[in-house]
Amino acid sequence: MAGTTLPTPLYGLYQEQIGFSELTVTVVFAVYAIAVITALLVAGNYSDAVGRRPVLLAAMGFSAASACCFLLESGLPLLFAGRLLSGFAAGLLSGAATAAVIELAPPGKKARAAFAATAANMGGLGCGPLLSGLLAEYAPWPLTLVFLVHLGLIAVACVLTWLLPETVEDPRRWPRLSPQGISVPPGVKGVFVPASVAAFAGFALLGLFTAVAPSFVAMTLDVHNLAVSGAVVFSVFLASTIGQSMTPKVGAVRALPVGCGVLVVGLLLVAASLLAASLPLLVLGALLGGTGQGLAFRAALTLVSGAAPPDHRGGTISAFFVVAYAGISVPVVGVGALAMGLGLRTAGLVFAGCVTVVAACAGAYAALHPPARS
């Protein structure tokens, strides 16, 4: 997952080298999200049939191919190809890895396993920009070294995955793909709808920080240190992981509306940072928004995975991630398009306002209609 966010602090360097607009940055990012959604729709339930391990290894193969595209990068085509392959990797990994970690856990530790899975997901996404920002600022070969390091990490992950036991009973040998669309068992829909809308709003915040925050830090705040840009993005994912660790104490049913409320406060602080051109406010908004996103996200995933029948768990979780990743792609491209005409600050304010409304509605609905009773 760290590989999917490695390019985040480097987009400014790519803009100088290749020459493209802020809209192109968000489109490059959206290509990744579209690839994630495509993989989830086409193969989201494939690990339920073929087994978790083959799908995880295939995901890491796509991730390695993505790193090679960035190493060979000579223009926008390979940049797009790298993001596309990275999206396929994340799409295959999201549902299969989450299901595998939960299934590998002993009976009394399923909740801890769900936290391990989501913390690895968010922690990896946060470590990507932190790692690339530090290496690009303080080490040689800013557009090369980080992807060589990533290839080494993939090699280690492949060995560990190969040694894991298979958790799917009687896996079939390479069955045909059966694209599922967004397939959710009827008994799960009462939980799925409020949970997935909350995830959409939270992932929209993550998308803003991953795609646009480095540009805002450089262009509006005049901070050009890539390590600082990477750390700002890292802060929202770190806070998300902390929020996820708090979910069991709050309880999944209560954490969903509470997380949405904290997310709303974080979005308002992000908007305030845009108006005041304040880095401390931006970081505070990232920390609060990330905490709310983490609370709501883990609660949502726990409720959805707990309600899904075992033979449809991988597909149901993948459908959940489809909605979540739509939150990353659609609003962020809108920010890029608005920034072309209105400027980055105004576009960010419009984004913050829209996502605040979605998060507030999701939180209010979850509070009035607790998913456990649906």
Name the CATH superfamily, with its identifier, for domain 1-167: MFS general substrate transporter like domains (1.20.1250.20)
Q: Tell me the angle at which helices 252-276 and 344-368 cross, rounded to the nearest 10 degrees.
A: 160
pLDDT at 139: 93
pLDDT at 371: 66
Mean pLDDT of 205-215: 83
Query: Rounded to whole angstroms, how far apart are CA atoms 209 and 201?
Result: 13
Q: Tens digit of pLDDT for each residue in 257-302? A: 999 999 999 999 999 998 898 999 999 999 999 999 999 988 998 8
pTM above 0.75, yes or no: yes
Second-level CATH architecture of 181-373: Up-down Bundle (1.20)
What is the overall mean pLDDT for the chain?
A: 87
pLDDT band (50, 70, 90) for residue 138 = very high
User: What's the N-to-C CA distance of the chain in angstroms?
Assistant: 33
Confirm whether 1-167 and 181-373 share one CATH topology: yes
* pLDDT for 122 beyond 90: no
Residues of the chain with pLDDT > 90, as a percent, come to 43
pLDDT at 94: 80
Asked if 209 and 348 count as a contact pair (C-beta separation under 8 A), the reply is no
pLDDT at 201: 92
Mean pLDDT of 229-249: 92
pLDDT at 163: 92
Q: Tens digit of pLDDT for each residue in 58-76? A: 999 999 999 999 999 878 8
* pLDDT for 373 beyond 50: no
* pLDDT for 174 beyond 80: no
pLDDT band (50, 70, 90) for residue 132 = very high
Cβ burial, residue 190 (10 Å; 0-12/13-18/19+) = middle
Residues 6+ apart with CB under 8 A from 293: 202, 203, 205, 206, 236, 239, 240, 243, 259, 263, 266
pLDDT at 374: 43
Residue 341: count of CB within 10 angstroms of its CB: 9
Residues 6+ apart with CB under 8 A from 300: 194, 195, 196, 198, 199, 256, 320
Q: Tens digit of pLDDT for each residue in 26-61? A: 788 788 888 988 888 888 778 888 889 999 999 999
Asked if 33 and 84 count as a contact pair (C-beta separation under 8 A), the reply is no
* pLDDT for 82 beyond 70: yes
pLDDT band (50, 70, 90) for residue 230 = very high
Query: Rounded to whole angstroms, how far apart are CA atoms 346 and 367?
Result: 32
Query: Rounded to whole angstroms, how far apart are CA atoms 226 and 156?
Result: 27
pLDDT at 337: 82
* pLDDT for 21 beyond 80: no
pLDDT at 240: 93
Query: Rounded to whole angstroms, how far apart are CA atoms 71 and 151?
Result: 11
CA angle 317, 321, 327 (to 5 degrees): 155
Where exactly are the structural domains of the chain?
1-167, 181-373
